[in-house]
Structure 1
Amino acid sequence: MRLHRLDITAFGPFGGSLTVDFDSLSAAGLFLLHGPTGAGKTSILDAVCYALYGSVPGARQNGQGTALRSDHAAPATRTGVTLELTVAGRRLEVTRQPPWQRPKKRGTGTTLDKAQSRLREHDPVSRSWKDLSRSHQEIGEEITQLLGMSREQFCQVVLLPQGDFARFLRADAEARGKLLGRLFDTRRFADMEKRLAERRRAAESRVRDGDAELLADAHRMQQAAGGAMEPADLVPGEPGLAESVLSAAAVARSTAREQLTVARCRLAAAESAQTAADRSLDEARERDRLQRRFAEARQRAARLAERAEDRQEAQTRLDRSRKAETVAPALELRESADAEHRRAADAEADTRALLPPALRDAGAAGLAAAARRATEELGGLESARRAERRLTELLGERVALDRQERADDDALDESEAWLTGWEETRAGLQDRIESAQEAAARTGELAVQRDTAHKRLTAARLRDQLAEDTEDAAEQARAARERALEAKQHWLDLKEQRLAGIAAELAAGLTDGDPCAVCGATEHPAPARKVAGHVDREAEERALAAHQSAEEHRADQEGRLGAVREALAAAGAEAGDTPAAHLAREAEESERRYAQARGAASDLHPAREQLRQAEHEHERRVAAQREAAVRAAARAGHRERLDHEQDALEEELTQARGDADSVATRAAQLERHAAQFTDAADAARVADGTAQRLKEADGRLADAAFRAGFATPRAAAEALLDAAAHRALQDRLEAWQQEEAAVRAVLAEPGTAAAAQQPPAGLTVAQRTAEDADRRTREAASARDAAARRCAELDRLSARATASARRLAPLREEYDRVARLAGLTAGTSADNERRMRLESYVLAARLEQVAAAATARLHRMSSGRYTLVHSDDRTGRGRSGLGLHVVDAWTGRERDTATLSGGETFFASLALALGLADVVTDEAGGVRLDTLFIDEGFGSLDDQTLDEVLDVLDSLRERDRSVGIVSHVPDLRRRIHAQLEVVKGRSGSTLRQHGVT
């Protein structure tokens, strides 16, 4: 992959449009990207990553839309990045534009434009560009496939962030595993570990569930056996559980079958005894029933004889009632005629009481004639009644006209008052709109000022805090240097003392007859003796270890001091020398002005809405005035027509109502009189008719009573019975007859009479004997059924337990196999001596490749002193596989990479990053990386080491690579001629290229 050109517009600190010509920079092989802190050096790398993957590296990838846009850009300028590159032999151009809150083309405010992407390819034949895609997803997949790397791998391999690899050198195995896992995508091996662990847990769960189910069946069999089975004191997962349960079940089944045989024999004996007892009880019950039946029949015959007179009297009453039934129709007819006559006479009296005194004694014909005269007069008033109703309507219309006139007058007065202040209201609203528009224009400017003030305040507070941290770090670094010098001096003193007394230390190991290691003599007449305060090898080694520990602490403190000073310089460049309190007041004042302007601008929409509503109200009120004037002219003509019609109607009504208050009153009087006369005439005719019918009914009743044999109609009425009394009397007579026949039949039965001659039956004794036999039979049957159920339940549970044991056997075998594999891959098995996980094993192989590739460059950078080696040793109680050590050729010792000094850590991490780039490139399918960037870290190197590092980087050109160094170290500007300078200014950063053609 080779970069050719990068176009940046309104991106990060760059407010305008800039172009980076990577072709001219890469021609020298090694180029420098420099500039002051915060100018935007890293933003160039962010733009490259954003063009390729649509996001920026690391933590800066959050908030893509507004975070990427430059605060210095003009509102109408859209943020965009265009990168031209060659990858896999294809020349491509990628354009990315994040979401944009652009100003509206009409009106005020902003609108959101969606993110846009475009991918083009250069056709060497036609020498033109052709579009490939405008889809974010398609472009991302195409770039990832061509590069063979994800965004994380690209940021580690091409951008080479030195801070990450410095942490990688000092990290533990777990942290190294996370980084290598992201770069080499070993998730499938981690997924395999998780899958095996899940399968082990699932298999274990199935085995335990099977054992639990088997134990549950064992407890059920124990309950079913009723104590004939020993309780199972086993737990799920215990070996031999299935055999123990099945053996105990077999013993319980045998015992239950023996108990069933005994219960069946007892039931047969009880059933024989019950049959004999039931037979004796049936015979006793039958004799007792016949004897009681005969005695009851004798008692019923005696009661019938006592009630013979009542029976005769009832028969006589029934006969007289049957004769009186022939007179009943005449009686009913006479009662109906009498009731009808009384009702007609009462109605006639009521209607005559309402008549005038002169007509109360008149006959039906005279009353009918008076009703006809009143009806004729009523018909003549119908026209007058219509005129009276019309007059009422006229009065209502006049009232409505008066109400409408008052309403129009009120509306005209209100409209006139409102229209009087219209011009002043409209002018006031227009002034509000203009003021709000001016405030909205100021809001944007004040927002920029407010954000700038807050950024400077934050930087100033950080600057003050870092100033205190710098003093503390300097003090700690000074103390660490003093302690390191003291430890070194102490070690040298001890070493010198040991060398001075080395003869005594050698003499301590001499033995007569053995040759001396120095002179070779076998006799030792005067060996040297140890003096007081002699220093041995162990004391020297402890002093050396203390010296090395102090040196490491000194290097850490100096590195911390350098980092704090660098952060302080960056914060000082951002905040300047202005005190934080003064900046806080400026930020507070900017916030206050911005809030005032924003509050004033928020009144724009309400003011416009009020003006629109006021104009609409003005039009409505002017139209209402015109409509009211038209209605007033129409009311005047209508009122004049109503006056003429009212005069004519009043003259007509005066003649029609006579002495009455109104025509309606006169008509009501006539209607009432006509109705009264008609009702009285009808009532008189009805009363005459009912009197004649009553006289005829009396004659018919007297004739019917005489023919039935009664002296008077009253006697016939007294002998007559109603239906209920007649039916009750008939039922009593029939019941006496049936009772008499039933008694005679019972007394005539041969068996009943014979049983009455026998002695009383012993029913109680026979019943008690039968109950005892039935109880013993039920108990025996219950015992037999319980034994049968026990046998069936034990058979069912035993078969179920056997099936469970058969199903459980392959599950247990599977669990043993999966548990062994899961333990091996997870590093927890005893067979895995190094406790190395599967993913760690794969990453260890990758780390070994990276260490080998990095050593080739580290050996040259350190002048042959250092070599990186991979270690599988365990650290403490942790797991092994991802150890990384450095071999120091000067001491011949192997030590952890965390013990390297600041400068040593830099070129070691640089070598590691370059080696990792080679390995990841090969892992990604051999994609050629012709352009690399190295971000910072050169400030910790001395001149000689810096020359060696630059020689190694310059050697990358042998593989036709170009390397861009991102740094603000001044010495690099002398050594590297091709430069891209980022210049920071108040209106945004710009770019300058030096030393290129």
Structure 2
Amino acid sequence: MKPITLTICGWGPYRDEQPPIDFEALGSRGLFLITGATGAGKTTIFDAVTYALYGDLSGKTREKGSVRSDFAAPSTKTYVELVMEHGGKRYRIRRNPEYMRPRKRQSKNGELTKEKENAYLTMPDGSCIEGSSEVTARIRELLKVDINQFRQLSMIAQGEFTRLLTAPSSEKSKIFREIFDTKLYERLEAKLKNSSAELYRQVMEYRHRMEEEVSVFSPDEELKAEVEALVAEAGIYSERLLPFLKEKISVFLSEEKRLHSEEKKAEEEIEELAGIVKEAEQTKALMEQLAKEREKQKSLAEREPDYRQMEERLQRAGEAAAVREYELLLQNREEQRKTCEKKLQLSERELEGLLQKQEEQRTLVELAEQIAEAFDMKERCEEAERLRQEKETALREKKQEFGALQVRYEKAEKEAEASIHDYENAERRYRHGIAGILAQDLKEGEPCPVCGALSHPCRQEREQGVPTEEELKEKKLLSEKKRQELLKIHGETRACREARDLLDREAEKSRRMQQELTEKMQELPAEIREYPDFHERSDFEKQRKEAEEICLRISEKKKTKEALRQERQVLLEKEGLARGNFRDELQKAGFIGKEEYRAAFLPEQKRKEEQEAVRDYRQRCYAKEHLIHHLEEELKVREQRNPAEEQQKLAEIRKKKDSLTEAGSCLWKNRNETEKLYHSLKEKKEKSTALSEKYGIIKDLDDAVNGNNKKRLVLEQYVLAAYFEEILKAANLRLAMMSGGRYTLYRTKEVTDGRSKDSLDMEVLDYYTGRYRSVKTLSGGETFKVSLSLALGMSDVVQAYSGGIQVDALFIDEGFGSLDQESLEQACQTLMSLAESDRMIGIISHVPLLSEKIENQIQVKKTSTGSTYQLVVF
């Protein structure tokens, strides 16, 4: 990163927006000095650069919340704007801290509001990133360093020269890890450690599982004892265990084959005997069933007379069922006729009721139009009364308002006259006393503003009570204000009077309209005029509508009555015809009368039940006869055997078979358990062996990179130590020049406990004494030279090894005051040689010798109203 321009506004001691600092004018490569009095704001320039980049200041002793200039006006903004070049491209950053500013809308009390912290980053392509945290993240990604690393590499702030020099190894490791991106080695160490631990856990898990499986092995007691004895003698990983189990499996298979052959032979005998027993039992059951069926057949034969009588009854009931249809038709005709007569009677009663209602409403129908007109006139009278009351109420309110306005007008008129009179008197006194006012400022030797004379022998004295010009202006403004208020009240009073007169006319018009409607209402007949007083208009409309509906319903009812009379006559004729048909069917069926017919008649459900009973009886008789014949034929071909004897033989052979099955089950269990144990142990042993081999390799790597080696050296620490050695080599090139060849920096390789683990601590070789000593024993000036050499060496190495990190500019704040003249000469030569390598170096110092040696300068001047700066370029 190389700064191009820097603009500061309302920042620290700088009150207003300062002209941009043109770093290119100071030389794109070279050395420049920032000089000025203590507290003038030299370090503020470095703070502004750091804040623009990272939103924080260059030193840790200052806080970004205090950067708002105490000299700045409330309306002045506080911000910094940095244009920088990085990787051949230019970027513009504008950033402001949080501070209090006046509200954008005018406030009577001059209230302030908080301006939130914000930042804008304009990219080389013109795109813009907004937001303080977003811009900081993008800058960190772009420069490949955070603010702490930036302070170490580019911005060596006041009071922080020795931070890297005296920092412990852990802090240096953290800094170098970020700079040189050695997290890869740290991740590799962690991954190897985790992989080694995981493989060891898996190996041990397989071993525990093998031991557990042997412990839960559950064959018969004899085999279990043999396995336990073998494990106890040779161990779980013995080469004898798996062959032993395999041999046992083979023995079990051979024995199982023999038992299976004998069991199959027994099953065949069981199957044969089971057939004989089954046939004997079936023959016995058939003989018993034949005897039972013959008894049932005899019982059915005894019920034959009853079912014959039932068949005769069903035949007569069928003839009665044929006559039943004609009886039902006659009953239907009678019901239809009776229903029609009921409807006719109901229609006649409804017609009489409607005719009576029509007679009661005859007067309402004849006078309906006149009554409706009376309702209209009454509603208009009520509306006129309502309007009259509203107008009169509004008129009273407007009269009260007019009276109040008259009082206000009289008061305002008096106040305006008094104010105008007061102003005119004051103006008159001011004109008369103007000479005295002018005379009091006259001085001898100065020209008179009226006559131009330089001598003033007869100056007029100022009269008492003469108003000043400001007082006269105030009285004039007050009189004008009172006059405007009087005009406003006059307009309001006139508008109120016109509204009052309009309401008076409208109220009178409403009264006349109400009077005219009342007179017209009195001209109507009494029965019409009084109707609206006793009825609602809705009731009237409802009654009129009901009267119209009654007329329509009377017409409909007359038509319905006539239709019912005709229907009754037709139904009477149909009823007579149905009665004749019923008598004829009774005679055809041979029934003497209705009593005999009804006695023979059976309901349909009863008739179906008896028909079903007869049919079921005949089917059972046939089925019994057929079944008995079948059983007799079946028994003729069957051999007679004793089932009990055959069952005894079957039980004996089954007992033998069960014994064989039990022995086979025991063998199968032993073989199955042994096979499971054999295959499981074999699989786990193979996997455990493979994992053990892999664990051996990974464990060796883990030991190598995590310090479990002869040197007890961690891989990342080894890499960091290598980088640190390079930094010290680069630093010693500068330190040799600045110390006159007296000092050389070395990395400390022995720690306090005597172990050979590498560290990032430093010691210095003093060639004057030939001894190594701690860097903490150096004097102030020596510490500055060593720290500066270390910072420059780190900058060189970072650029050499980290392709994305470019240290194009280095800023050094103070520290030179601790150097003697010779050391100062050496430091300047070192920095000048460094500046010649395309690098910009800025120094803050008030040492006079530096001002003489460094021509390009930013000179900061401190005043009582804030600081300013100017560029001095040669």
**1:15 and 2:11 correspond:** no
Give runs of aligned pairs for residues 756-795 of structure 1, distance below 5 A. Answer: none
Deviation at 1:991, TM superposition (A): 3.7
Give the 3 Å change call, closer, same or farther, for CA 210–399 of structure 1 in structure 2.
farther
Deviation at 1:719, TM superposition (A): 0.4
CA distance in 2, matches of 1:411, 1:211: 108
Give runs of aligned pairs for residues 547-626 of structure 1, distance below 5 A. Answer: none
C-alpha distance after superposition, 1:892-943 (max 9, x if no partner): 543443455666544443443344344445546799978644334567x5xx
Give the alignment partner of residue 817 of structure 1, picking from 697, 705, 726.
697
2:764 paired residue number: 886
Return the letter of the residue paired with 1:724: Q
CA distance in 1, matches of 2:754, 2:389: 99
Return the letter of the residue paired with 1:870: R
C-alpha contact 2:859 2:870 (8 A) present in aligned 1: yes
CA distance in 1, matches of 2:344, 2:868: 125
CA distance in 2, matches of 1:420, 1:675: 71
**1:935 and 2:813 correspond:** yes
| Stretch moving more, 708-717 or 376-385 | 376-385
1:526 paired residue number: none
2:718 paired residue number: 841
CA distance in 2, matches of 1:860, 1:52: 33
C-alpha contact 1:133 1:139 (8 A) present in aligned 2: no
**1:826 and 2:823 correspond:** no
Deviation at 1:161, TM superposition (A): 4.2
CA distance in 1, matches of 2:229, 2:386: 104
**1:317 and 2:197 correspond:** no
Unaligned runs of 5+ in 1: 120-130, 358-370, 424-623
CA distance in 2, matches of 1:23, 1:750: 130
Deviation at 1:15, TM superposition (A): 2.7
TM-score, length-normalised on structure 2? 0.66
Deviation at 1:687, TM superposition (A): 5.1
CA distance in 1, matches of 2:646, 2:509: 119
C-alpha contact 1:318 1:729 (8 A) present in aligned 2: yes
2:747 is paired with a residue of what secondary structure? strand
Give the 3 Å change call, closer, same or farther, for CA 754–649 of structure 1 in structure 2.
farther
**1:700 and 2:599 correspond:** no
C-alpha contact 2:83 2:92 (8 A) present in aligned 1: yes
CA distance in 2, matches of 1:83, 1:989: 22
C-alpha contact 1:930 1:960 (8 A) present in aligned 2: no
Give the alignment partner of residue 720 of structure 1, picking from 601, 624, 628.
601
Return the letter of the residue paired with 1:97: R
CA distance in 1, matches of 2:399, 2:51: 67
**1:301 and 2:297 correspond:** yes
C-alpha contact 1:394 1:642 (8 A) present in aligned 2: no
**1:916 and 2:794 correspond:** yes
1:721 is paired with a residue of what secondary structure? coil
Give runs of aligned pairs for residues 649-688 of structure 1, distance below 5 A. Answer: none
C-alpha contact 1:324 1:716 (8 A) present in aligned 2: yes
Give the 3 Å change call, closer, same or farther, for CA 880–70 of structure 1 in structure 2.
same
CA distance in 2, matches of 1:809, 1:418: 114
C-alpha contact 1:746 1:752 (8 A) present in aligned 2: no
2:719 is paired with a residue of what secondary structure? helix
Return the letter of the residue paired with 1:334: L
Give the 3 Å change call, closer, same or farther, for CA 94–7 of structure 1 in structure 2.
farther
CA distance in 1, matches of 2:395, 2:690: 102
C-alpha contact 2:15 2:865 (8 A) present in aligned 1: yes
CA distance in 2, matches of 1:385, 1:805: 120
Return the letter of the residue paired with 2:697: R
CA distance in 2, matches of 1:778, 1:385: 117
Give the alignment partner of residue 157 of structure 1, picking from 153, 169, 182.
153
1:934 is paired with a residue of what secondary structure? strand
Give the 3 Å change call, closer, same or farther, for CA 783–837 of structure 1 in structure 2.
same
Give the alignment partner of residue 749 of structure 2, picking from 859, 872, 875.
872
C-alpha contact 1:103 1:111 (8 A) present in aligned 2: no
CA distance in 1, matches of 2:376, 2:339: 51
2:825 paired residue number: 951
Unaligned runs of 5+ in 2: 108-112, 406-498, 532-538
Return the letter of the residue paired with 2:702: A
Return the letter of the residue paired with 2:300: L
Return the letter of the residue paired with 1:700: N
Give the 3 Å change call, closer, same or farther, for CA 840–338 of structure 1 in structure 2.
same
Deviation at 1:177, TM superposition (A): 1.5
C-alpha distance after superposition, 1:231-267 (max 9, x if no partner): 7999xxxx98697885576356435524532541352
1:45 paired residue number: 46
CA distance in 2, matches of 1:641, 1:224: 126
1:426 paired residue number: none
1:835 is paired with a residue of what secondary structure? coil
TM-score, length-normalised on structure 1? 0.59
CA distance in 1, matches of 2:848, 2:298: 149
1:325 is paired with a residue of what secondary structure? helix
CA distance in 1, matches of 2:240, 2:66: 72
Give the 3 Å change call, closer, same or farther, for CA 245–280 of structure 1 in structure 2.
same
2:162 is paired with a residue of what secondary structure? helix
Return the letter of the residue paired with 1:885: E
CA distance in 2, matches of 1:420, 1:872: 107
C-alpha contact 1:79 1:98 (8 A) present in aligned 2: yes
Deviation at 1:716, TM superposition (A): 0.6
C-alpha contact 2:230 2:241 (8 A) present in aligned 1: no
1:36 paired residue number: 38
C-alpha distance after superposition, 1:697-722 (max 9, x if no partner): 44433332233222212211220112
C-alpha contact 2:364 2:544 (8 A) present in aligned 1: no
Give the 3 Å change call, closer, same or farther, for CA 10–207 of structure 1 in structure 2.
farther
Q: Percent identity?
A: 24
1:331 paired residue number: 327
Deviation at 1:192, TM superposition (A): 3.6
CA distance in 1, matches of 2:237, 2:800: 56
Give the 3 Å change call, closer, same or farther, for CA 969–384 of structure 1 in structure 2.
farther
Deviation at 1:343, TM superposition (A): 3.8
Deviation at 1:285, TM superposition (A): 2.3
CA distance in 2, matches of 1:689, 1:966: 134
C-alpha distance after superposition, 1:574-594 (max 9, x if no partner): xxxxxxxxxxxxxxxxxxxxx
C-alpha contact 1:200 1:815 (8 A) present in aligned 2: yes
C-alpha contact 1:30 1:954 (8 A) present in aligned 2: no
Give the 3 Å change call, closer, same or farther, for CA 670–8 of structure 1 in structure 2.
closer
CA distance in 2, matches of 1:113, 1:165: 30
2:727 paired residue number: 850
CA distance in 2, matches of 1:208, 1:407: 107
1:186 paired residue number: 182
Deviation at 1:949, TM superposition (A): 3.2
CA distance in 2, matches of 1:253, 1:799: 11
Give the 3 Å change call, closer, same or farther, for CA 260–891 of structure 1 in structure 2.
farther
Give the alignment partner of residue 742 of structure 1, picking from 598, 623, 631.
623
Give the 3 Å change call, closer, same or farther, for CA 925–959 of structure 1 in structure 2.
farther
1:316 is paired with a residue of what secondary structure? helix
| Stretch moving more, 292-301 or 255-264 | 255-264
CA distance in 2, matches of 1:754, 1:926: 111
Give the 3 Å change call, closer, same or farther, for CA 631–76 of structure 1 in structure 2.
farther
CA distance in 2, matches of 1:972, 1:79: 31
Return the letter of the residue paired with 2:713: M
C-alpha contact 1:6 1:83 (8 A) present in aligned 2: yes
